[in-house]
Amino acid sequence: MRSNLLCVMIAALAVWEAPAAAQEDKGASRRGIVPCVNPWQLPSGCAPAAGKPFNSHDLAGVWTRTAGAGNLGNKVAMTPAGQAALMANKPSFGPRMVPPALGNDPMGKCDPLGLIRNILLEVVDRSFEFVQMPDRVIQFFEWAHQYRTIWTDGRALPNADAEPRWMGYSVGKWEGDTFVVETTGLDARTWLDNLGHPHTEEMRVVERYSRPDRDTLKLSFTITDPKYYSQPYVSDVKTHRINPERAMDEKLETFCVPSEEEVFNKGIRDPAAGLGK
Contact positions vs other proteins (CB under 8 A): 1, 3-8, 10-19, 21-22, 25, 41, 91-93, 97-101, 103, 105, 107, 110, 125, 144, 245-246, 251-257, 260-261, 263-264, 267-269, 271-274, 277
Closest listed residue to residue 107, CA positions, set 190, 186, 1: 190
Q: How far is the CB of 30 from other proteins (least distance, A)?
A: 16
- Residue whose CB is less far from other proteins, 20 or 84: 20
- Residue whose CB is less far from other proteins, 14 or 77: 14
- Residue whose CB is less far from other proteins, 215 or 225: 215
Whether the CB-CB separation of 94 and 72 falls below 8 Å is answered with: no
Q: How far is the CB of 207 from other proteins (least distance, A)?
A: 24
Whether the CB-CB separation of 256 and 144 falls below 8 Å is answered with: yes
Q: How far is the CB of 49 from other proteins (least distance, A)?
A: 18
- Residue whose CB is less far from other proteins, 58 or 260: 260
CA 252 from chain centre, in angstroms, equals: 16
- Residue whose CB is less far from other proteins, 174 or 255: 255
β-strand pairing of 178-184 with 204-213: antiparallel
Q: How far is the CB of 78 from other proteins (least distance, A)?
A: 22
- Residue whose CB is less far from other proteins, 151 or 166: 166
Q: How far is the CB of 123 from other proteins (least distance, A)?
A: 8
Angle at the Cα of 108 from the Cα atoms of 103 and 112, rounded to 5 degrees: 125
Q: How far is the CB of 97 from other proteins (least distance, A)?
A: 4
* Residue 37 CB-density burial (10 A; 0-12 exposed, 13-18 middle, 19+ buried): exposed
Whether the CB-CB separation of 228 and 199 falls below 8 Å is answered with: yes
Got the DSSP string for 116-159? HHHHHH--TT-EEEEEE-SSEEEEEETGGGEEEEEE-SSPPPPP
CA 31 from chain centre, in angstroms, equals: 28
